[in-house]
A and B are shown apart, each in its own frame.
Chain A
Amino acid sequence: MNWTAIAAIYRFEMARFFRTLAQSFLSPVLSTSLYFVVFGTAIGSRIQEVEGVSYGAFIVPGLIMLSVVMLSISNASFGIYFPKFLGTIYELLSAPVTFIEIVIGYVGAAATKALFVGVVILFTASFFVEIRVEHPLAMAAFLILTCLSFSLLGFIVGIWASNFEQISLIPQLVVTPLIFLGGTFYSITMLPPLWQTITLFNPVVYLISGFRWSFYGLADVPIVFSLLAILAFTGLCLAVIWWIFKTGWRIRS
């Protein structure tokens, strides 16, 4: 394994993040604050508690997931699409690195950035509501696994995309609706029975449920299912990436 090359890619990608550190920091703080003002205050005044947890505190795990998932995808997709767009990918392809090393470098950096923002949101949220974390290890594991798996998805999107519009296509058309309908702002037990069943086909439900369980011990679906879902999603993304690199799809002619 060429760890020096992995470190070089990782450092190069992180430098992009640090160049706009204030932006990287302020943007999630502002958007989280807005969510609390709009959802926490406006809707929260009508929904006092969900299963014994104040509404403001209840939406924190969902809010973190929302940002972390979107950022993981955009970080990783831009990370690999940019070299394609600028033509600098020639250097990656002609370097003595395997595709696994390229993935570790790019996905690792994208996941780190998303993780940083996730922590910032958690910290910001603690100023608005009282947060308790019942299962800190599970919380960390879910957060890290989410960052990694959606960064893998973002990497696939970046390889697939042939223009900037396509990069935002998957996050906007697929991922955002799944997250909003996945129980970010509500418990699926609040839905009519038919919709509860339909919602179970949304993979994000398992993610948010598991993450929320790590905070408050509340889960819409059994925790094991949540863990299996995130592992299965990670496995699927890895399999697609393995196929991309084996065939050189959209990278190597």
Chain B
Amino acid sequence: MTTILSIKDLYKTYAGGFEALKGVSLDIKEGEILALLGPNGAGKTTLISTICGITTPSSGTVTVGGHDIVGDFRAARRMIGLVPQEIALEPFEKVWNTVRFSRGLFGHGPDNARIEEILRKLSLFEKRKSSIKELSGGMKRRVLIAKALAHEPRILFLDEPTAGVDVELRKDMWEIVAELKQAGVTIILTTHYIEEAEAIADRVGVIDKGKLLLVQEKKTMMAQMGKKQIEVMLTEPVAAIPASLAAHNLTLNGTGDTLIYTYDIHAERTGITTLLNDVAQAGLVLRDVQTRQSSLEEIFVNLVSGEPA
């Protein structure tokens, strides 16, 4: 896959002296979905705003499809669609007109068939004559996506696309993102819903305090950084972990009927066989055994707090 977006050593210091980006470098491949994870104030929105031209970079370069975002901004911006975090729409305007406006703003002539296609894809066609103020919050988010797609961008930025939306709409959004990926659109989304990144991203970038801490394939990240745990469920609860099992560093759950063993999946020996033997030797009877892998959320929290996952 070719690189469609290349960020090199990007710095952004605001007028008040706040350093929002501290040397971010990142290459994004065409057709991938990259999720940028980070706590509030990490620099996610500043990064997107800088790439899209809303904020001017202090130093560094960004190229979109080989076009510099400053020197060749017209060509670069034509390739980008942005769905902002906040619902920012003119309340009295009609859905159709606002999408047509966005298309025109990006230099494309009116194309009713294309606008209809976009509105149908986003289940907005029936609402095309409605004023924005008549729409529900979910529909307004769809309008924002329709506006961003109106000029047929090759890269779509979704800044917290599902912040404050209900579960059903969130799933709808994920389906829309999947369809766009199918159509070959590169998608960069920021989120602090870890499950969102886990569900739809190909790669995950973790950003905090203006620095990109890590960018990895989602599966690789989880495999490399994730711990695995075995939960050994007992038929009868125990008051304390038997002394003979002390070497395994087990923890006991609150009800005393589950022993939890954490191990490294990449270690030469996981110690599972020995553990299960020792549990049997200790006279404990197993009811069930299940394994659990660290979620992206745990990895993320540990990365941001500087502790190993």
Contact = CB atoms under 8 A, between A and B. Distances in A.
Interface of A: 2, 4-5, 7-9, 11-12, 15-16, 19, 82, 86-88, 90-97, 248, 252-253
Contact of A86 (B56, B88, B109): B88
Given A88-B90, A94-B82, A96-B73, A248 B105 contact: no
Interface string B58-87: 000000000000000111111010101010
A82 B90 contact: yes
Contacts of A90: 52, 54, 82, 84, 88
Contact of B97 (A5, A15, A93, A95): A15
Contacts of A92: 105
B15 to A, nearest CB: 7
A11 B101 CA distance: 8
B84 A8 contact: no
Given A94-B53, A252-B55, A253-B55, A8 B88 contact: no
A15 B93 contact: yes
Task: Name the 7 nearest CB pairs between A and B, nearest first.
Answer: A8-B104, A87-B88, A96-B74, A94-B52, A96-B77, A95-B105, A93-B54
29 contacts: A4-B107, A5-B104, A5-B105, A5-B106, A8-B100, A8-B101, A11-B104, A12-B97, A12-B101, A86-B91, A87-B86, A88-B88, A88-B90, A90-B52, A90-B84, A90-B88, A91-B82, A91-B105, A91-B147, A92-B105, A93-B52, A93-B54, A94-B52, A94-B53, A94-B77, A94-B82, A96-B106, A248-B56, A253-B55
B84 A87 contact: yes
A7 B103 CA distance: 11
Contacts of B14: 253
B53 A93 contact: yes
Contacts of B102: 91
Interface of B: 14-15, 52-56, 73-78, 80, 82, 84, 86, 88-93, 97, 100-109, 147
A94 B157 CA distance: 12
A7 to B, nearest CB: 6
- Specify which of B86, B104, B105 lies most central, judged by the most chain A CB atoms within 10 Å of its CB: B105
A143 to B, nearest CB: 29
Nearest to A4: B107
Contacts of A19: 92
Contacts of A15: 93, 97
Given A86-B89, A88-B88, A90-B84, 10 more contacts: A2-B107, A5-B104, A12-B93, A16-B92, A86-B91, A91-B102, A95-B106, A96-B106, A252-B55, A253-B14
A16 B101 CA distance: 13
A86 B105 contact: no
Nearest to B94: A15
Nearest to B87: A87
A253 to B, nearest CB: 5
Nearest to A105: B105
Contacts of A11: 101, 104
Nearest to B75: A96
Contacts of B109: 4
A94 B54 contact: yes
Given A15-B93, A91-B147, A97 B88 contact: no
A247 to B, nearest CB: 10
A15 B96 CA distance: 13
B38 to A, nearest CB: 19
B80 A94 contact: yes
A86 B53 CA distance: 19
A64 B296 CA distance: 67
A8 B82 CA distance: 18
Contacts of B76: 96
A121 B152 CA distance: 45
A91 B157 CA distance: 13
Contacts of A97: 105
A11 B102 CA distance: 12
Contacts of B103: 8
